[in-house]
Structure 1
Amino acid sequence: MALLVVLLVLLCAESGISQEKDNDNETNALIGEFCGRNGVTSLLNFNKNRNITLNDLRMQLSSKRVLAARAQVVGPGDSVYAVTQCRNYLTVDQCVACFDAGVSKVFNCSAANAYISFDNCFLRYEGFIEFYNDPYFMMDGSGTQFLKCGNQSASQPTPFNQVVRDLLSNIRDATPKTSNFYVASTRQIISENTKVYATAQCVENITQATCQTCMNSVYDKLNSCPPSNQGRFSDVACFARYSDTPFFNDNQTTNIITTRGHSGKPVAIVVAAIGGGVLCLLILVLWLLYRRRLRNKSKKNEQGYINLRLMPMADGAVHYDYKNLKLATNNFSQENILGRGGFGEVFKAILDDKKVVAVKKLQVQHDGATEEFEKEVKLISNIRHRNLLRLLGWSSEGSHLLLVLEYMPNGSLDRFLWGPQRGTLNWNQRYEIIFGIARGLAHLHDEYHIKIVHRDIKSSNILLGDDFRPKIADFGLARFQPEGQSHVSTAFAGTLGYTAPEYALHGFLSDKVDTYSFGIVVLEIICGRRSTEVRPSTSDICCLLEDAWEMYENTKHVNVIDETLKLTEYEREHAMNIIVIALLCTQSPASDRPTMSEVVSMLQEGRSMAERQLTRPTILKNANRRIHIEVMQNQKRKMQLN
């Protein structure tokens, strides 16, 4: 029987090379294009940087004779990071031609990010570097998946459908296992005396798990195309195509038998040879083990802590051994402490590969520690955004609950506002920090597939990277806001001084609570004062917010700007405009506040404040007094820095 199995396996294996024939890889159909929503600071500066980057990409392709390239221009303002990649069956000249077609498309886009996908290549650029190794690290949520099915049907749909689906199944399994994440394969349709050609490719330098996730999408999406004679699917992480017309040569196929492991027809034959009785017994044993595992999944361990190894994690988030993290933090030594919070401490750690990370160690004696840990891991493991702190991994062993997070070398924002680094942030840096926080919150509220309310936006929860790019941290108090509901009623949790009045007084929680907190943080950034700080000369005013309102009502809000800032006339006007936006965010009732997406637009586009009315927060004096913002021509121009 063993000999029979070997013979059957050999009969089922595809031939690696056959006679070369003409193909249509000269065609280069557009699959989809996406012009993002991320704005630029200066269109002139952005266009210059983009042109330099695209020229660099083309030079690499043509001079190095390669099919993939990266390039970037990093500078103050509008940095551009770009990547292009062609299909492996192309010549370099065909690749350059495809790239040129992509360049002609992106010139129609004035956003800071774009994605163009063709049959033969893709071109993408962003304003941040993280997407190089994590294609899904993006700001605009969905919108970059494209599916195109042919408009002609196969002459014999039933055999055609079966062959296509078998072929797609095989390339789905094989592509992530190849060294270059690329597969090209064919299948013969005997009844029609024709072939089906298919290829799949994942983006370079991503993980095998990310490639596999994308290939699963390929299989699910392209399966809806047959009996169409061809189909294409493109995502930011991968591409796949099938057709009954050759688009690569038969000598360019990949021998996927060696890569797909225990999948495909050979295994099916071996299983059939085992015998019906043995197979039934094996299925019964596997079913019992599966049921047992399901029961274990639904329980916490004996100490009452979540087994996070069984929780769904985003690609790249890994489980760390507690002993290794203990060693990396020098036994959680005091000299490695980066900060302290309500649920624990954060330590600097150096891993074995010399990578520097931050390790958040939760205090498990706290009543909410386990719940906070589980919630934070579930939330941030699946959120990717340049202005949200990224989860790298976690550890859950006994009573030890640890989160491994991005290391932010400049620490928290409050250090630069009233801490040891006070006065070192210039106006442009402060504006970019305000803009980044707004974009992060807009992603949580409006771009992620569910609305998330952070609940604890404050200066100490804004961390700064090397380039002072802000990232929102500490999602332990975050809550989902159900679709269609204006708010949820819940017990107060947050930080007084940053919390909206309707939430602090009545427990009404909505995304507008974050908007209020954002307004307070903006005032702190511009004024360089704590939200609870009282100026000695205004002892009858309770806090920074009321002081800003009083000054604004008397058109003297220039006086609340941080005295350490040395502003030009334009910068002073710009800062005053953003104070008005901050006050818009703190209004009562909550419905009067803008959404964070609207705030991003106001910051980005310089939209006039002229026809808006402001309403003081209810916790302040004269709560019902409405204030009309007078029309000021000098506030209409240049809301953003060039």
Structure 2
Amino acid sequence: MSTNLVVVVIVLMVIMELGVAQPINKTDNTNTPLKFYCGSNFAMSPETFSRNLNSTFSQLRSQLSNTGVYYARAQNVEDGDAVYGVAMCRNYLLSTDCLACFDVAVPAIAPCGLANGAHVFLDNCLLRFENYDQFYEDPQGSSNIGVLEICGNESTSQPITAFNQSVKELLSDISVATPRTSDFYIASTRQLTSGTNATVYAIAQCVQNASQAVCKNCLNTAYHNLFSNCPPADEGRAINVACFMRYSEFPFFQNNQTINLIPFLGKGSSSKSGMIIGVSSSAGLVLLITALLLWFRWSKFKAAGNDTSDFQGAQCYTYQDLKLATNNFSEEYLIGKGGFGEVFKAIVDGGIVVAVKKLHVGFRAKKEFENEVNLISNVRHRNLILQLGWCIDGPELLLVLEYMSQGSLDKFLWGEQKGTLNWKQRSDIILGIARGLTHLHGEFHVKIIHRDIKSSNILLDNDFQPKIADFGLARFLPEDEAHVSTRFAGTMGYTAPEYATRGHLSEKVDTYSFGIVALEVISGRSCSDVNYSGPRMEYLLDHAWQLYEKGIHIKLIDDAIDPNDYQEENVKKIIEIALMCTQSPASLRPTMCEIYLMLSSEPSLEQRQMLRPTFIAVDRRIQIGGN
């Protein structure tokens, strides 16, 4: 037996199940390993295994370096010593913080030697590898690790009864809500009932490859273990290969990174969640208060000498720096135009490629810009464009956003890359858009309505995953209103009829637009294109409805897609969901959360009575369908 093999056997015998518990800095996110485990078997070839392991770790790190990516998996299977890896970070982290945690996790499992499986838990991340791939779909399948609670070593400084009650309610709520979210993640807070103004902070997260049932069962156990064993400890954690739960009386994420629990608890109240949409006269008082708060915040910002603390995670750039980075905003750097201005490619901070959005100057635009910066600097989701920075000191207002090398979705549907997307890529794009809108409508700490969802506002990353761009149209709405009457600011062809004709704006406007985009993705046609092949001209939505009525809506699919790449029932299901999204009145449309769940479920779809949808063409005088 070789020396290396003897060392491995001894290590495995000594640390087959090792735990590491360290004091945690209560006021900061730390990357101290909480617990790690080594597998019971070892690799056949140390050299091959090490090469596969290092390559897997490298791939995982590369994926996590992309902004908004919190879950990664990779594999290397050379010469039998297969390595399948998963890494996951908490969704409140910046990419740099996620990578910092990953860089601690890798050496933390080094004591496992050549064990062909191991995992380590940290507050900020999880790293796991195995020599089999089944755990991708069933993370708990072959693991003998139960849900382990780790309690703080100090008692709470708050009144014990009130603290226990708040912890119990908060943990119970997030254990119910988390499995119902699009990313299996919740961050929330709860004020103590004692009147002390103290707050309890908590998160829950399941690995994204877990099923909803596994996530639910894991978090239920985590909740019972923490509440039964940890209070009145000032903090506690529950760890498992499928889920993680943590609470503390000390903040470990920003207040404006919380997620609205109400839509996921089945308690049916929207009165507690803010809604960001268009301006109306009935919102005057709220807008006045908002304007005063913004003015006060801006005054503090100026007095502090460009302190960016209000813009968490976003960097303040000087106008001169961005002007140089875009060669004075020259035509050669121009990569797009939107309703608020032009978008330029730039290189900042010594080599980071970004997109700079230049907004046209004006008092109104300035107020919109302030709102936008405050909002989207804290929106972090894998299907939403991340804001990296901003600038307000020059003649134009500028946003610095992550750069999407593939460009916008429309280019791949009817532009220069027409026909290059296969069915798997298209269905993933549709699901990703739904996931992003679900986050905006119900998972962010306030409700955001985009109101200009269209294919040109969907950008694609290197893996052809969609990211929704352009949140500049968001506004505030009083909490007790379901919709407002506002000026039209969307794009004809994608816009819901009640908004285009009467200015009635609600989250169902985004639902309608999503349905139109989904039909575009399936067909490869623009919603504004007219089909003259039949007895009358038909726009895309009208054409899709005609095919659906005849039961032949599978014919809507783009001819460029290989028939061997898809199952007809799955395509027909997505078309039916898209048509469901375009129903009028708006009350007939499902929410984006419901849509996401329908798209994520098995091909069968509950039959619903549907009406012929209404389509407002690019020329507003043309209204097709409806009652």
TM-score interval, smaller chain: 0.5 to 0.7
Match of 1:623 in 2: 626
The SS at the match of 1:327 is: helix
**1:506, CA displacement in angstroms?**
1.6
Q: Is the 8 A contact 1:308 1:396 kept in 2?
A: no
The SS at the match of 1:524 is: helix
Q: How does 1:187-586 map to 2 (within 5 A)?
A: 228=232, 231-232=235-236, 298=296, 309=306, 313-364=310-361, 368-480=364-476, 482-538=478-534, 540-568=536-564, 570-586=566-582
Q: Is the 8 A contact 2:414 2:525 kept in 1?
A: yes
**1:567, CA displacement in angstroms?**
2.0
Q: In structure 2, do the counterparts of structure 1 residues 118 and 355 end up closer, same or farther at CA, with 3 Å as the change threshold?
A: farther
The SS at the match of 2:370 is: helix
Q: Is the 8 A contact 1:455 1:493 kept in 2?
A: yes
Q: 1:611 aligns with which of 604, 607, 610?
A: 607
**1:542, CA displacement in angstroms?**
4.5
Match of 2:150 in 1: 119
Q: In structure 2, do the counterparts of structure 1 residues 427 and 234 end up closer, same or farther at CA, with 3 Å as the change threshold?
A: same
Q: Is the 8 A contact 1:98 1:120 kept in 2?
A: no
The SS at the match of 1:614 is: coil
Distance 1:309 1:465 in 2: 32
Distance 1:488 1:531 in 2: 26
**Residue ranges of structure 1 left out of the alignment (5+ in a row):** 1-24, 32-50, 122-137, 148-164, 166-221, 243-293, 625-642
Q: Is the 8 A contact 2:308 2:316 kept in 1?
A: no
TM-score (norm 1): 0.56
Q: In structure 2, do the counterparts of structure 1 residues 335 and 491 end up closer, same or farther at CA, with 3 Å as the change threshold?
A: same
Q: In structure 2, do the counterparts of structure 1 residues 520 and 383 end up closer, same or farther at CA, with 3 Å as the change threshold?
A: same
Identity %: 48
Match of 1:210 in 2: none
Residues 414-447 of structure 1 show CA distances to partners (whole Å, capped at 9, x for unaligned) of 1111111111111111111111000000001111
**1:543, CA displacement in angstroms?**
1.5
Distance 1:554 1:404 in 2: 48
**1:74, CA displacement in angstroms?**
3.5
**1:484, CA displacement in angstroms?**
5.0
AA aligned opposite 2:466: P
Distance 2:558 2:549 in 1: 19
Distance 1:529 1:307 in 2: 51
Match of 1:219 in 2: none
Q: Is the 8 A contact 1:362 1:369 kept in 2?
A: yes
Q: Is the 8 A contact 1:412 1:464 kept in 2?
A: yes
CA-based RMSD of the aligned residues comes to 5.0
Distance 1:394 1:358 in 2: 11
Which piece of structure 1 moves more, 368-377 or 345-354? 368-377
Distance 2:368 2:234 in 1: 49
Q: Is the 8 A contact 2:584 2:611 kept in 1?
A: yes
Which piece of structure 1 moves more, 305-314 or 541-550? 305-314
| Structure with bigger gyration radius | 1
Q: In structure 2, do the counterparts of structure 1 residues 310 and 614 end up closer, same or farther at CA, with 3 Å as the change threshold?
A: farther
**1:614, CA displacement in angstroms?**
1.1
Distance 2:303 2:410 in 1: 33
**1:615, CA displacement in angstroms?**
1.7
Residues 474-518 of structure 1 show CA distances to partners (whole Å, capped at 9, x for unaligned) of 011123455453322222211110010111122211111100000
AA aligned opposite 1:340: K
Q: Is the 8 A contact 1:70 1:82 kept in 2?
A: no
Q: In structure 2, do the counterparts of structure 1 residues 588 and 386 end up closer, same or farther at CA, with 3 Å as the change threshold?
A: same
The SS at the match of 1:537 is: coil
Distance 2:398 2:105 in 1: 41
Q: In structure 2, do the counterparts of structure 1 residues 572 and 490 end up closer, same or farther at CA, with 3 Å as the change threshold?
A: same
Q: In structure 2, do the counterparts of structure 1 residues 471 and 116 end up closer, same or farther at CA, with 3 Å as the change threshold?
A: farther
AA aligned opposite 2:186: S
Q: Is the 8 A contact 2:109 2:118 kept in 1?
A: no
Q: In structure 2, do the counterparts of structure 1 residues 310 and 111 end up closer, same or farther at CA, with 3 Å as the change threshold?
A: farther
Distance 2:190 2:119 in 1: 18
Match of 1:259 in 2: none
Q: Is the 8 A contact 1:313 1:382 kept in 2?
A: no
Q: Is the 8 A contact 2:406 2:462 kept in 1?
A: yes
Distance 1:485 1:536 in 2: 43
Q: Is the 8 A contact 2:357 2:398 kept in 1?
A: yes
Aligned length: 420
AA aligned opposite 1:370: K
Q: Is the 8 A contact 2:570 2:603 kept in 1?
A: no
**1:382, CA displacement in angstroms?**
1.3
Q: Is the 8 A contact 2:573 2:603 kept in 1?
A: no
**1:562, CA displacement in angstroms?**
1.6
AA aligned opposite 1:595: T
Match of 1:46 in 2: none
Residues 126-176 of structure 1 show CA distances to partners (whole Å, capped at 9, x for unaligned) of xxxxxxxxxxxx9445258899xxxxxxxxxxxxxxxxx9xxxxxxxxxxx
TM-score (norm 2): 0.57
**1:328, CA displacement in angstroms?**
1.1
The SS at the match of 2:332 is: helix
Which piece of structure 1 moves more, 472-481 or 335-344? 472-481
**1:368, CA displacement in angstroms?**
4.0
Distance 1:300 1:230 in 2: 36
Q: Is the 8 A contact 1:601 1:607 kept in 2?
A: no
Which piece of structure 1 moves more, 485-494 or 415-424? 485-494
Distance 1:295 1:448 in 2: 21
Q: Is the 8 A contact 1:433 1:468 kept in 2?
A: yes
Q: Does 1:81 align with 2:55?
A: no
Distance 1:306 1:409 in 2: 38
**1:371, CA displacement in angstroms?**
3.0
**Residue ranges of structure 2 left out of the alignment (5+ in a row):** 1-17, 25-40, 62-71, 77-83, 90-101, 141-145, 153-181, 192-197, 199-225, 250-291, 616-622
